[in-house]
């Protein structure tokens, strides 16, 4: 894959004060690295440029991203398989596809992600906001993920878990990636689409769908006047405080 800058097996990496413009594919790749500190980057590509992820992280632990501006044609930050203890804060994202866990499980792969925090970020006219995406047929788990104090500005799919990423093919096996203990705390702003919250979880072999989803202090209105936002849940279990807007009454206990 063509990447502007790629680090593999670089422990205690420090990356700061760089500007990346119009990479052919991913701008920055971090793989198999531990104790990584990334800060004060500026990454830019046209919103319609395919596969131009800002920061793509895989197989890495104890990664911290701070004070960075990213606008691309794909994920601002993608947290991929076998990542743990990833902490993202004070990132301005847009244009782009939001900050994503995944995609995971492509071609039936077993992949895991755990202990992720995304905080104090702004999503400006992105196609998605706080996103978890897994392929049908994959296996593994996603657990202990927190999205907190996020601001959406005319963002599409501000809160989304999608376990039939890309495929949507009749007869495809369900995703067996178990998603659990995901918290959305203090997510506010406006959505470019009426469906502001979307949890599409697969039952998989466990039959549980997504477990332990928590929503509190969420307020996402429609960017367009006269439009009401709403939530959709499929096989999603957890709790939502009554003050959340839109109501997430579809979330099963």
Catalytic residues: 97
**Would you give the distance in Å from CA 9 to the centre of its chain?**
24
Pairing of strands 159-162, 195-200: parallel
Residue 17 burial class via C-beta count within 10 angstroms: exposed 0-12, middle 13-18, buried 19 and up: exposed
Spatial neighbors of 215 by CB under 8 A, at least 6 apart, are 159, 183, 184, 185, 187, 197, 238, 239, 240, 241, 244, 248, 251
* CA atoms of 44 and 42, how far apart (whole Å): 7
């Amino acid at each position: 894959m063509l990447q502007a800058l790629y680090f593999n097996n670089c422990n205690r990496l420090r990356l700061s004060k760089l500007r990346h413009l119009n990479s052919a594919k991913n701008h920055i790749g971090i793989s198999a690295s531990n104790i990584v500190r990334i800060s004060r980057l500026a990454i830019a590509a046209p919103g319609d440029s395919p596969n131009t992820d800002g920061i793509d992280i895989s197989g890495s632990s104890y990664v911290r991203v701070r004070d960075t501006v990213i606008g691309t044609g794909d994920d601002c930050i993608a947290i991929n398989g076998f990542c743990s203890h990833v902490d993202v804060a004070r990132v301005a994202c847009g244009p782009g596809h939001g900050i994503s866990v995944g995609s995971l499980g492509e071609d039936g792969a077993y992949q895991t992600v755990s202990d992720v925090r995304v905080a104090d970020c702004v999503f400006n006219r992105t196609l998605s906001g706080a996103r978890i995406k897994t392929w049908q047929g994959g296996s593994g788990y996603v657990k202990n993920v927190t999205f907190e104090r996020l601001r959406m500005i005319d963002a599409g799919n501000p809160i989304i878990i999608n376990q039939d990423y890309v495929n949507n093919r009749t007869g495809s096996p369900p995703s067996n990636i178990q998603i659990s203990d995901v918290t959305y705390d203090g997510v506010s702003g406006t959505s470019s689409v009426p469906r502001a919250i979307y949890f599409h979880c697969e039952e998989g072999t466990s039959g549980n769908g997504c477990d332990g989803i928590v929503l509190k202090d969420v307020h996402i209105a429609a960017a367009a006047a006269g439009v009401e936002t709403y939530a959709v849940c499929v096989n999603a279990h957890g709790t939502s405080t009554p003050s959340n807007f839109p109501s997430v009454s579809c979330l099963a206990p």
